[in-house]
Chains A and B, each alone.
Chain A
Amino acid sequence: MKTNPALIALLAAGLAVSACSKKPPKVLPPDPGAAVSTETPASSQGPVPGSQADFAATLMGQDTILFDTDKYNIDSADQTALAAQAQWLAKYPAKRITLEGHCDERGTREYNLALGERRANAAKNYLATLGVDPMRIATISYGKERPAALGSDEASWARNRRAVTVTID
């Protein structure tokens, strides 16, 4: 229920354009600093390892977890996604992230700001239990101000009740 086919399709489409291949990059020494300084993320070679583009490509939609109406608990689908995030973060221990909490439009503005913070914080706490240093994790709430899906229907609202992990390049 929680993984989103449309989001995955979007990400896949984005990859097809930017990387021409879904093959994960196989650069042996994961040295993000050198990679960034010596080469631009050329479209033929896939995203730079350790970059936000790499994170998004590796996670395949699991950079986002979804919540039920007014809820902020981490269910099993969320746990799987956060485990995949933690795995990637373990490979790049210097990498910091921002967890963005969001809500659907069917609530009042101020409450949703606080609820988005609560969702981001729930994801942060779970990542911490998986060994990610909380000092690497910032949280921010956008409430209902930045929807991902634009419709006013249950399907769109389900996609908007989310916490999105963004790595800081």
Chain B
Amino acid sequence: MNTMSLALALALTAQPAFTQSAPDAATAQTAEPAIDVTDDSDWQNQTIAIPSFATNADVPTQASAGSTSALGFALAGVITADLQNNGLFKPTGPAALPRPALPQIQAPEYNNWGARGTDMLIQGYVRAEAGGQVTIGCYLYDVALKQQLAKAGWTLAPGDWRRAAHKCADLVYSRLSGESPFFDSKIAYIAEVGPKDRRLKRLAIMDSDGQNHEFLTTGQTTALTPRWSPDYKSILYLSYFNGQPRIYILDPATKSQRLLLSAKNPLFAPRWSPDGKWVLYSMASAGNTDIYKIPAAGGGTAIKLTDSPGIDIGGSFSPDGSRIVFESDRSGSQQIYVMNADGSGQKRISFFGGRGATPEWSPRGDQIAFTHIVGNLRVATMDPQGGSLRYLTDSWQDEAPTWAPNGRVIQFFRTAKSTGRTSVWQVDLTGRTLRKLDTPVDGSDPAWGALRP
């Protein structure tokens, strides 16, 4: 929360002038290794007004938000929250703004918005369709230029109304920042309740903003480390379902699941390949853990990728599928290694002291996020050669980063000292905008899925 207020305070003092695009976080970051980001000189932001979406007729809908008019207000609220939470913009939501009528949606009152100090204006409408669906339109205007920058519309089931808000926020975010969209995506994670020595751990899913929450397992057996398939049709996760840790593939729509493979040995750390055709996993045998891959469809033969004495675990593919980053203690302590997708060319890349764990390759390919352990556990990033170490968090125990589909935002989980309570957090790549996600119970092991198809 402090970070957020700081960000807003900085936003207020920053240049209100029109900016063509947001700063490139990656290039702005390369300067000094191994320090926290406190330099705000490249901070830029735009004031964005998001008034309530208008409607042609205020009629009831099946949406949780209510009638078309109430839905218009809720849509603007969701878009405001999305844009607020990534650190680039200074949005103002519908509660503090006048409510445009339908004719103004495509003919904004530029002078009025300009007088309010608005740089960008997002307007939209809601229309109930005959079949029970709703059509939601989204428009982005540059107030100073008096020009429309982007528009889009979606007709969808009323229950999916939040998706339209996320898609609208994505449209605006992409157009103004030059980055790829990411709001219209989902998180799988482990929901936790109970005392520290008897935590109930259930598989759960939610939208990228923490809404539309759903439990997928009952908690009778401990679930850990989920991963979405690229098409959102399956979730890989670890479960103690039959007494041993094994890897299951669960269909979130039907909640049916199958074993990835039968093995007497414990199996850990399942990961998808970017095309969803392969699954990486780790198997322990007589105290030695190695990384394997197997066709996701089942029935294929496992290919052993590592063969070193020690623990090799937790692989993550590069976005083009050609390489894998993983952790190994073959040198005596946990460190980060890279290898080709066939297991050849294994090479250590972390040489900055401490221990490195849970590496995850950015969907953009330019960064690897991981957990750096020097006493405390912190979320950090580095480039694929092991350079440009940067910390994104500084707390007692932050671990297991997961990338937003655009590689610009990271979620991870934080464990509280003594109580052992866990929570899911989100931070942008500059490290400036840090916030806790509002999950119904404690949460760990967040896994961010791709942009929804």
Q: A residues near B, CB below 8 A?
A: 70, 72, 105-111, 113-115, 117-118, 121-122, 125, 140-141, 145-148, 150-152
Does the CB pair B420–A150 fall under 8 Å?
Answer: yes
Does the CB pair A109–B400 fall under 8 Å?
Answer: yes
Residues of A within 8 A of B195 (CB): 150
Given the complex of chains A and B, what is the CA–CA distance between A41 and B282 in angstroms? 43
Does the CB pair B314–A121 fall under 8 Å?
Answer: no
Given the complex of chains A and B, what is the CA–CA distance between A45 and B114 in angstroms? 88
Known: A140-B244, A145-B222. A111 touches B287 (CB 8 A): no
Q: Among A109, A113, A148, A151, which residue has its beta carbon within 8 angstroms of that of B399?
A: A109
Does the CB pair A151–B418 fall under 8 Å?
Answer: yes
Does the CB pair A108–B399 fall under 8 Å?
Answer: yes
Residues of B within 8 A of A108 (CB): 334, 357-358, 371, 373, 377, 399-400
Kindly provide the distance from the CB of B195 to the nearest chain A CB, expressed in whole angstroms: 8
Residues of A within 8 A of B386 (CB): none
A-B contact pairs, 14 of them (CB 8 A): A70-B333, A108-B399, A109-B225, A109-B445, A110-B268, A110-B358, A113-B245, A114-B282, A114-B284, A117-B287, A118-B284, A141-B266, A145-B201, A147-B196
Q: Secondary structure at chain B's binding surface: helix, strand, loop or mixed?
A: strand
Does the CB pair A110–B201 fall under 8 Å?
Answer: no
Does the CB pair B243–A110 fall under 8 Å?
Answer: no
Q: Among B196, B282, B286, B397, which residue has its beta carbon within 8 angstroms of that of A121?
A: B286
List 11 additional A-B contacts (Cβ < 8 Å) besides A111-B357, A118-B287. A106-B373, A106-B377, A108-B357, A108-B377, A108-B399, A110-B225, A110-B282, A110-B357, A114-B289, A141-B284, A152-B418
Residues of B within 8 A of A141 (CB): 245, 266, 284
Q: Among A109, A111, A152, which residue has its beta carbon within 8 angstroms of that of B311?
A: A111
Instruction: Write the chain B residue with the least CB distance to A153.
Output: B418
Does the CB pair A122–B287 fall under 8 Å?
Answer: yes
Residues of A within 8 A of B358 (CB): 108, 110
Closest 6 CB pairs of A and B: A121-B287, A108-B357, A114-B289, A117-B284, A118-B287, A114-B311
CB-CB contacts of B264-289 with A at 8 A, as 1s and 0s?
00101100000000000010101111
Cβ-based interface call for B415 (8 A): yes
Instruction: Write the chain A residue with the least CB distance to B197.
Output: A147
Does the CB pair A117–B225 fall under 8 Å?
Answer: no
Residues of A within 8 A of B245 (CB): 113, 140-141
Known: A115-B311, A121-B287. A110 touches B269 (CB 8 A): yes
Kindly provide the distance from the CB of A19 to the nearest chain B CB, expressed in whole angstroms: 25
Number of A-B contacts (CB under 8 A): 94
Does the CB pair B197–A113 fall under 8 Å?
Answer: no
Residues of A within 8 A of B314 (CB): 110-111
CB-CB contacts of B178-204 with A at 8 A, as 1s and 0s?
000000000000000001111101000
Cβ-based interface call for B7 (8 A): no
Given the complex of chains A and B, what is the CA–CA distance between A145 and B420 in angstroms? 10
Given the complex of chains A and B, what is the CA–CA distance between A140 and B420 in angstroms? 22
Kindly provide the distance from the CB of A64 to the nearest chain B CB, expressed in whole angstroms: 15
Kindly provide the distance from the CB of B332 to the nearest chain A CB, expressed in whole angstroms: 9
Given the complex of chains A and B, what is the CA–CA distance between A114 and B399 in angstroms? 17
Most buried by B among A110, A113, A151: A110
Does the CB pair A145–B199 fall under 8 Å?
Answer: yes
Does the CB pair B266–A113 fall under 8 Å?
Answer: yes
Residues of B within 8 A of A148 (CB): 197
Instruction: Write the chain A residue with the least CB distance to B416.
Output: A152
Kindly provide the distance from the CB of A54 to the nearest chain B CB, expressed in whole angstroms: 23
Does the CB pair A140–B287 fall under 8 Å?
Answer: no
Residues of A within 8 A of B286 (CB): 121
Residues of A within 8 A of B201 (CB): 145
Residues of A within 8 A of B209 (CB): none
Kindly provide the distance from the CB of B396 to the nearest chain A CB, expressed in whole angstroms: 8
Given the complex of chains A and B, what is the CA–CA distance between A109 and B288 in angstroms? 17
Given the complex of chains A and B, what is the CA–CA distance between A106 and B399 in angstroms? 10
Residues of B within 8 A of A114 (CB): 268, 282, 284, 289, 311, 313
Kindly provide the distance from the CB of B353 to the nearest chain A CB, expressed in whole angstroms: 15
Does the CB pair B334–A111 fall under 8 Å?
Answer: yes
Given the complex of chains A and B, what is the CA–CA distance between A122 and B373 in angstroms? 25
Instruction: Write the chain A residue with the least CB distance to B420.
Output: A105
CB-CB contacts of B131-154 with A at 8 A, as 1s and 0s?
000000000000000000000000
Given the complex of chains A and B, what is the CA–CA distance between A120 and B195 in angstroms? 25
Instruction: Write the chain B residue with the least CB distance to A156.
Output: B418
Given the complex of chains A and B, what is the CA–CA distance between A158 and B317 in angstroms? 35
Cβ-based interface call for B428 (8 A): no
Given the complex of chains A and B, what is the CA–CA distance between A70 and B332 in angstroms? 9
Q: Among A106, A111, A122, A151, which residue has its beta carbon within 8 angstroms of that of B313?
A: A111
Residues of B within 8 A of A146 (CB): 197-198
Cβ-based interface call for B164 (8 A): no
Known: A117-B289, A140-B244, A141-B284. A110 touches B313 (CB 8 A): yes
Instruction: Write the chain A residue with the least CB distance to B444.
Output: A109
Kindly provide the distance from the CB of B437 to the nearest chain A CB, expressed in whole angstroms: 18
Kindly provide the distance from the CB of B197 to the nearest chain A CB, expressed in whole angstroms: 5
Instruction: Write the chain B residue with the least CB distance to A120.
Output: B287
Q: Among B224, B244, B327, B333, which residue has its beta carbon within 8 angstroms of that of A109?
A: B224
Kindly provide the distance from the CB of A100 to the nearest chain B CB, expressed in whole angstroms: 11
Residues of A within 8 A of B420 (CB): 105, 147, 150, 152
Kindly provide the distance from the CB of B337 to the nearest chain A CB, expressed in whole angstroms: 13
